[in-house]
Amino acid sequence: MGLKMRFVNGTAQAHTVTYGPGFDGDTTTSDVATSNSKVGAVLDLVIGYTGLIGAVNASVNATTAQWTLG
């Protein structure tokens, strides 16, 4: 039903992925996902016809996820 995309850190630096409509459906507070500064941090996204279906390994709390939405 949707397109699956995986982003994996290749270096120990913070990286960002921007999704204009917002990962949580709001364009101002969840449109950018920022990775932890770790090699191998993974963000899995599933995008459907109406937008984002799901984001795995992403959270608003950086201590429990590999990527933080903000």
- Eight-state DSSP code of residue 26: -
pLDDT value of position 10: 92
List CB contacts of 13: < 8 A, sequence separation 6 or more: 37
Q: Cα(32)–Cα(49) distance, rounded to whole angstroms?
A: 20
Taking only the tens of pLDDT, the chain with its 70 residues reads: 678 989 999 999 988 888 888 877 777 778 888 888 888 888 888 888 877 888 787 776 555 667 777 7
Hey, what are 40's tokens?
């191998």
